[in-house]
Homo-oligomer: A and B are copies of this chain.
């Protein structure tokens, strides 16, 4: 019986675990492992790719593959369009554009995005609904330089969905925090002020510079799930 890639992965993990291959050690090349296990090189490659993504091994061009010196687990989060996230939960989706105006960037917003203070920005507040109930309150600062002329109508397609499908993001960061609902969040989401909300704050950079700073305040009980 030929081994599958999961079995190759398990055997590589076993050798790392029993310190046959200790932290930092160079492991045999794909060709050598394929020969040893009697499988195709592509099978070994798939197993090693999975282990590299999990942070167990480190692959370098030419320098070969090493056992990670410091085991770091990496988990992946998929950031979907909110509408699709809601539909994926089997709930009806709707949204309401609650604010849309041109405002000079306040200092903290400009600083986070690397834009000059007072730069004209588009400020948008969108309430996303799942099954008719508040799901996420989105507060967004958008660099109008990324918008076409004329700009899209964010009452017809949410800024979240328009940006994901039209603007190529190059890099960014997300910070998760637990915060007491602000009076505004409490009012819009129909919860008591101070209720713990899971908040995600994202900044994104595009090819032509900063794109957006967005705060997503999730309804109580919301779970953000990642796998590894």
Contact = CB atoms under 8 A, between A and B. Distances in A.
Interface of A: 9-10, 13-14, 16-17, 42, 54-56, 61, 70-81, 84, 164-180, 194, 196-199, 207, 218, 220-228
A73 B164 contact: yes
Contacts of A80: 72
The 8 A-B residue pairs with the shortest CB-CB distance, nearest first, are A196-B196, A178-B178, A73-B79, A178-B198, A178-B196, A13-B168, A176-B224, A17-B168
B171 A228 contact: yes
A227 B172 contact: yes
Copies in the complex: 2
A6 to B, nearest CB: 9
A217 to B, nearest CB: 10
7 contacts: A70-B84, A75-B172, A173-B226, A176-B198, A178-B178, A194-B194, A194-B196
